[in-house]
Amino acid sequence: MNVVVLCSGGMDSVVALHWARREHTVVVVASFDYGAKHNHQEIPFAAEHALSLGARHEVIRLDFVDRCSPPIY
pLDDT digits 0-9 by tens, 30-49: 999 998 889 999 999 999 99
Give CA–CA dist 32/52, Å, rounded.
19
Residue 19 lies in a domain: yes
At residue 12, what is the residue type? Answer: D
- Listed in sequence order, the DSSP H helices in the chain are 11-23, 39-53, 64-67
pLDDT digits (tens, 9 = 90+) for 48-58: 999 999 999 99
Number of domains, the chain: 1
Give CA–CA dist 27/24, Å, rounded.
9
Q: Are 29 and 5 in contact (CB under 8 A)?
A: yes
What confidence tier does 64 reach under pLDDT thresholds 50, 70, 90? Answer: confident
Residue 39 lies in a domain: yes
Rounded to two decimals, what is the model's pTM?
A: 0.84
Q: Which domain range does residue 42 map to?
A: 15-67
